[in-house]
Amino acid sequence: MLAKGINEYPVPGQEVKKETYAAEYEAVLKKEGVPFYPKAIDKDLVFSGLVMLGILACAAYFGPKGPSGIPNPTYIDTAPAPDFFFLWIYAALALLPPYIETFLLLTAPVVGIGLLFALPFLSNTGEKERPAAAHGACWA
């Protein structure tokens, strides 16, 4: 099944079937609009490029200055510590044996990203669900 672009809103009780999805998509496309790829993505690409150029311009203009002063080789900071938002990872890794730490740091992200890429292929049929907020539910 090829990527079809942005989906329509899910209808409760209406299941998605691989065998008929392509024909249903083409019918909706003829009736309601243009495909997201390649036609509607142009605006997104232009805006993303402008945002990236803006970020680069701000980094070049407001960026940090280089080192100043004479370097002092006698000053050694031997107690590196992560920023506060990484402290939980630092604490969790401190509980692991050293020989597992490197293996886990190198394999866990690859396995996690691989599972995220495999998810559409593992679960691509059945009824679509809307988020709870779309049903009118509110958080109490």
User: Where are the domains positioned within the chain?
Assistant: 15-135
Question: Rounded CA gap, 96 and 9, in Å?
Answer: 45
Question: Rounded CA gap, 21 and 6, in Å?
Answer: 14
| Predicted local confidence at residue 140, as pLDDT | 45
Share of the chain above pLDDT 70, in %: 83
Mean pLDDT of 73-102: 86
Computed over every residue of the chain, the mean pLDDT equals 81
Question: Rounded CA gap, 108 and 113, in Å?
Answer: 9
Residue 85: pLDDT band (50, 70, 90) is very high
Are the C-beta atoms of residues 14 and 127 closer than 8 Å to each other? yes
Higher-confidence residue of 95 and 40: namely 95
pLDDT in tens, 95-118: 989 889 888 989 999 999 999 999
